[in-house]
Amino acid sequence: MLEIQILSLIGIVLFFAFVIKGSTGFGAGLFTVPILLLFLDLKIILPLFLTVQIFADIYLLYKFRKNIDKKIIFYIFVFSIIGVIFGTYFLSNLENEILKKILGVFIILFSAKTLFSKNNLHIQKKINKIMVMIAGFIGGFLDALMGTGGPPIVMYLSHINVKKAVFRATCTMSFFIFHISRLITYTYSGIINLEIIKMGLILVPAMILGSAVGIFIHSKIDDKLFKKIVSFILLIIGALLLR
């Protein structure tokens, strides 16, 4: 068990991380992992944060359940599992750094286009089955390979102009699928143990409080501003992947 001072510091970081996730549906990992790396080993951060994320997913999915786009989730679920299988198989054969840089460039180009686009945000595009299948597959593939499966899902939902509540709920459900897949892998390999779960439970109040603040913020912003915020966060993710 980590010292109480360290757990308190982690709790503060998680509070702000889940303010971001509660308001947008993603971005908690982007905020949390780089900060915790300043004083914790990655082998502790990843399983501990995953444990808290799963508790958060369950809490947020209960809150957002009415806004989940079930058609999109069906395709993401099926094809992300296929992607996870391929990603796990290629884990030791592909150069992660090259993939990160390719993904980073693609995200930056997409985000810049979205930020300066004058598309009508009130018109939702029809679900493109091929695109959502590709997004699900690439998301699962990247999540298994390097723990960054979110951007393809975020970019797809942003592209089809779903309402902000649907965006947030569908993102949360998609990431829950990824997190459960990784939980199975971590448990099987012994990365997650009872000690990690206990620490995760201690940190749940910080997650709930941060999520509640994020949900409040979400209710106060319109779809246009929301899409700009999503694009800006994606730009940061892309830049971090290029480091």
**SS3 sequence, 198-218?**
HHHHHHHHHHHHHHHHHHHHH
Q: Which residue has the tokens 């997913």?
A: 57
Q: Using alpha carbons, select from 26, 10, 66, 28 the residue that is nearest to residue 201.
A: 10
Angle, alpha carbons 10-183-15 (nearest 5°): 25
Q: Over 80: is that where the pLDDT of 122 sits?
A: no
Angle, alpha carbons 106-109-112 (nearest 5°): 145
Residues 128 and 136 sit within 8 Å (Cβ to Cβ): no
Q: How high does pLDDT run on average in the chain? A: 85
What is the pLDDT confidence band of residue 184, given thresholds at 50, 70 and 90? confident
Position 103 scores a pLDDT of 74
Angle, alpha carbons 12-42-3 (nearest 5°): 50
The residues spanned by each domain of the chain are 4-237
What is the pLDDT confidence band of residue 117, given thresholds at 50, 70 and 90? low
DSSP assignments along 156-188, one per residue: HHHHTT--HHHHHHHHHHHHHHHHHHHHHHHHH
User: What does the pLDDT look like over 63-79, one tens digit per residue?
Assistant: 899 999 999 999 999 99
- Could you tell me where the DSSP H helices lie in 25-66? 28-36, 42-64
Most confident segment among 93-97, 188-192, 211-215: 211-215
Of the two residues 79 and 186, the one the predictor is more confident about is 79
Of the two residues 214 and 93, the one the predictor is more confident about is 214
Distance between terminal CA atoms of the chain?
32
- Beta-carbon-side half-sphere exposure of residue 26 (alpha carbons within 13 Å): 31
Neighbours of 163 (CB within 10 A): 15
Please state the pTM of the whole predicted model.
0.79
Q: Which residue has the tokens 């299948």?
A: 133
